[in-house]
Chain A
Amino acid sequence: MTNSHTATSHDDVVRVEDLKVSFYTDLGVVRALNGVSFNIPRGKVLGIVGESGCGKSITGLSIMQLVHSAGRNEGGRILFREFADGDAVNILEYERNSAEMRGIRGNNISMIFQEPMSSLNPCYTVGNQIEEAILLHQTQDATEASKRAIDILTKVGMPNPARIASSYPHELSGGMRQRAMIAMALSCTPTLLIADEPTTALDVTTEANILELMRKMQEEIGTSIMFITHNMGVVAQICDEVAVMYLGRIVERASVDDIFYEPKHPYTISLLQSIPRLGRSRGRLASIEGSVPDPYSRVSGCPFHPRCPVAIQGVCDSEVPEETVVDAAKGHTVRCHLYT
């Protein structure tokens, strides 16, 4: 059992402990999550960074218990503490389709996705879809729900919210659809918002607007955000804390400043070195050898060792590194043999 360390005095709205999720398919077993532990401090934005196949999306879906039925949870806890002074519940103890779980989704914990077009139902108006969540969780009164829907649309900066509420998703542009999805997610003022690559499919100017919106909403409503992305620029701009994932494990966790200025894990460092730095970048980019291994294979020891430039033979290839605390005060931990 790993020593999952919480950041000092912050209380956590969600604490994930040793989460394991596997997919059993015809071609083999995919160990999507291999013991993932992290915490999301209340009122803060935690970024989950990683490349494709690292398991960041599955982590978000697990918290909502929306993982595809082929995925099996094989251990760990997801503790959700709705109020700072209240109790924490283990989400995994609820059945997927139970009333408790449905009461949490959309209400206490909301999620927004990468492709707004496929997340919004083309048959219903935007207003209708927002009201759906409100009617489920907050009020039975249709007029009241309608009013709140328009309220939240105004809050997310939609021009002419009443007209937007009666529009269909295909009538809106990409940026507006994403705003609509954010409005839907925030309509019941959730304690935690999980955002799975919300700006990846957007143009850079729209992305800037959406990030600005999310910052603003976070300040106004006080929602904690779990922001899943692979874009380090976005991480730098919006996250307070960052957890770096590789092949189903968290390899480093720190404040956003520490991740960029004092990274410890070789993967984090390689990642940062391989990004072209605006204004300063010419010549070769440092790149990481090889590529992410086949999801059906199992890597012994540290998952990164085959590609690690400083791997220690005999150690890194046989033992999984424990999580070490680099800086307790700032909540900086890393999983690497160089630091044990």
Chain B
Amino acid sequence: MTTDDMLLEVKGLKKHFPIRSGLLRRVTGTVKAVDGINFHIRQGETLGLVGESGCGKSTAGRAVLRLHEPTAGEVIFHDAELGAVDVTTADREKMLRLRPNMQIIFQDPFTSLNPRLTVGQIVGEPLEIQKRGTPAQIKERVAELLQEVGLRPENMSRYPHAFSGGQRQRIGIARALALNPKLIICDEPVSALDVSIQAQVLNLLQELQQRYGLSYLFIGHDLSVIEHISDRVAVMYVGYIVEMARTDKLYFSPKHPYTEALLGAIPKADPRMRHRPIPLTGDVPSPANPPSGCYFHPRCRYAKDICAAERPPLVDIGDEHYVACHFAQELSLTGVKPLNDIPLQMPTRKNPA
């Protein structure tokens, strides 16, 4: 395991939002959206970040980019020229130089593009901001970028409302590519798309990764999609990473009870694989008022006394498989069974299947 190709290292990242009330807006509580997470991403790798609503995955992604100012922790980016830099403490100048390395694509294709600007202006904006060339040069680059994502360059003069959801996502991807980033935070980029368009966009993301050696932090909640696109996966629960491992290890032999419950709950796309998973009772706790000790303990069927008292740290139990559970080594949990292989072929005139 070399660290030569390490791109991003996040240590103890926290993002707390104060709850203010009263005339003087005093702080009466905190929403601990992200409560101390560690992870790393290598060059050319995709780390999937998965969790249910409110777990803080979106906030974590944005905090890495300082779109939310982190409350604590380090985000170390290995820049080609500047070396290892902590993004959270970089000054304005350094940030400006670091920014091109890390870009983001968003979930909602209908609010992620400014409706008053043309596609050309939207995709060219990062280049303008970073002053990368004359207007004519920028225009050329925008044409290139649009072609990369499978859109015709003539579309530059059109406005977002002319495009479908899938096409808008492509425009967003083109915008993210403009500055030749090394890392792209993908904040649920396919969640709002139809299944067939989802496939197109996922394919595009994979192609671009191959072509440019991009790394992705792929945030999502659809476990099948995450499994498909990620090399490694981290599972978040109420602001905390509870498990992180290589995709196949996590899916086939999970070590955290929450991961087990999540995997069991996935509706499998195979009618011959109907089984009734053990239901996960209770509700997701509020990040403003999490339980003591391990946040998952009230809903965990393996919980013991220690779980209510101490929060387990995320430890490497071997071969880069990280788990935050007191009983990680002892429990034997069920992973997913691979779906049956159903070979499907398009029918033809002569052979209508």
Q: In the complex, A touching B, CB below 8 Å?
A: yes
Q: Chain A: residues with CB nearer than 8 A to chain B?
A: 51-52, 173-176, 203-209, 211-212, 230-239, 256-257, 260-264, 266, 269-282, 284-288, 291-292, 309-310, 312, 338-339
Known: A233-B268, A269-B344. A277 touches B167 (CB 8 A): no
Option from A203, A212, A260, A309 in Cβ contact (under 8 Å) with B221 = A203
In the bound complex, what is the Cα–Cα distance between A309 and B346 (angstroms)? 8
State in angstroms the CA–CA spacing of A257 and B227 once bound together: 24
Q: B266 at the A/B interface (Cβ < 8 Å)? A: yes
CB<8 Å pairs between A and B, sample of 11: A51-B196, A208-B264, A236-B271, A270-B196, A272-B342, A275-B269, A278-B339, A279-B252, A281-B228, A284-B203, A285-B202
Number of A-B contacts (CB under 8 A): 169
Partner of B269, one of A236, A257, A285, A309: A236
CB pair A277–B52 under 8 Å, yes or no, is: no
Q: Which residues between 247 and 303 of chain B lie within 8 Å of chain A, taking CB atoms?
A: 251-252, 261-262, 264-274, 276-277, 279-280, 283-284
CB nearest neighbor in A for B286: A173
Q: Known interface pairs A204-B223, A236-B268. Does A285 touch B338 (Cβ–Cβ under 8 Å)?
A: no
Please state if B221 and A204 are interface contacts (CB–CB under 8 Å).
yes
| Known pairs A237-B274, A278-B224, A285-B199; A230 contacts B268 (CB<8 A) | no
B residues near A (Cβ < 8 Å) are: 52-53, 164, 166-167, 194-200, 202-203, 206, 221, 223-225, 227-229, 251-252, 261-262, 264-274, 276-277, 279-280, 283-284, 336-339, 341-342, 344-349, 352-353
* A174 to B347 alpha-carbon distance, docked (Å): 43
- Taking a contact as CB atoms under 8 Å apart, the answer to whether B197 and A291 are in contact is yes
Residue in chain A with minimal CB distance to B278: A208
- Report A60 CB to chain B, min CB distance, Å: 18
Say yes or no: A312 contacts B274, CB within 8 Å: no
Given the known inter-chain contacts A209-B279, A256-B271, please indicate yes or no for A274 contacting B223, CB distance below 8 A: no
Q: Is the CB of B342 within 8 A of A205?
A: no
B62–chain A nearest beta-carbon distance, Å: 20
Leading 9 A-B pairs by shortest Cβ distance: A279-B338, A276-B228, A233-B267, A274-B199, A208-B265, A287-B199, A203-B52, A51-B194, A285-B199
The distance from the CB of B336 to the nearest CB of chain A, in whole angstroms, is 5
State the Cβ distance, B109 to closest chain A Cβ, in Å.
Answer: 12
In the bound assembly, the distance between CA atoms of A57 and B194 in angstroms comes to 15
How far, in angstroms, from A339 to B348 measured CA to CA in the complex? 10
Given contacts A285-B202, A338-B348, 19 further A-B contacts (CB under 8 A): A203-B284, A204-B262, A206-B52, A208-B267, A212-B279, A233-B268, A236-B273, A257-B272, A260-B271, A266-B347, A272-B344, A274-B195, A276-B227, A277-B224, A277-B269, A277-B339, A278-B339, A285-B199, A291-B166
Are A281 and B196 within 8 A (Cβ)?
A: no
Q: Say yes or no: A281 contacts B227, CB within 8 Å.
A: yes
Contacts of B225 on A, CB cut-off 8 Å? 276
Contact between A280 and B346, CB atoms less than 8 A apart? no
Q: For the complex formed, measure the closest distance between the CB of A84 and the CB atoms of chain B, giving whole angstroms.
A: 26
Query: Does the CB pair B271–A51 fall under 8 Å?
Result: no
Contacts of B202 in A (CB 8 A): 276, 285
Please determine whether A211 and B270 come into contact, CB atoms closer than 8 angstroms. Answer: no
A51 to B273, CA, bound (A): 24
Q: Are B338 and A278 in contact (CB under 8 A)?
A: yes
Instruction: Looking at the assembled complex, report how far the CB atom of A187 sits from the nearest CB atom of chain B, in whole angstroms.
Output: 23
Contact A287 B203 (CB under 8 A): yes
Cα(A322)–Cα(B264), bound, Å: 41
Contact, CB under 8 Å: B199 / A282: no
- With both beta carbons as reference points, the residue of chain B lying nearest to A211 in the complex is identified as B267
In the complex, how many angstroms separate the beta carbon of A334 from the nearest chain B beta carbon?
9
Whether the pair B224, A234 counts as a contact (CB closer than 8 A) is no
> Which chain A positions have C-beta within 8 A of B53?
174, 203
Instruction: Assess whether B344 is in contact with A273, with CB atoms less than 8 Å apart.
Output: yes
A287 touches B196 (CB 8 A): yes
B201 to chain A, nearest CB (A): 9
Given contacts A287-B203, A309-B346, contact A233 B221 (CB under 8 A): no
Q: Tell me if B267 and A282 are in contact (CB < 8 A).
A: no
B225 closest partner in A (C-beta): A276
Nearest residue (CB) in B for A240 is B271
Task: Please give, as numbers and ranges, the residues of chain B lying within 8 Å of A235 by CB-CB distance.
Answer: 269
Query: What's the minimum C-beta distance from A287 to chain B, rounded to whole angstroms?
Result: 4
The residue of chain B having its C-beta at the shortest distance from the C-beta of A230 within the complex is: B195
**B280, closest chain A residue (CB):** A205
CB-based contact A286/B199 at 8 Å: yes
Q: Can you name the residue of chain B whose Cβ is closest to the Cβ of A291?
A: B164
A274 CA to B195 CA in the complex, in Å?
A: 7
Q: How far is the CB of A251 from chain B (nearest CB, A)?
A: 13
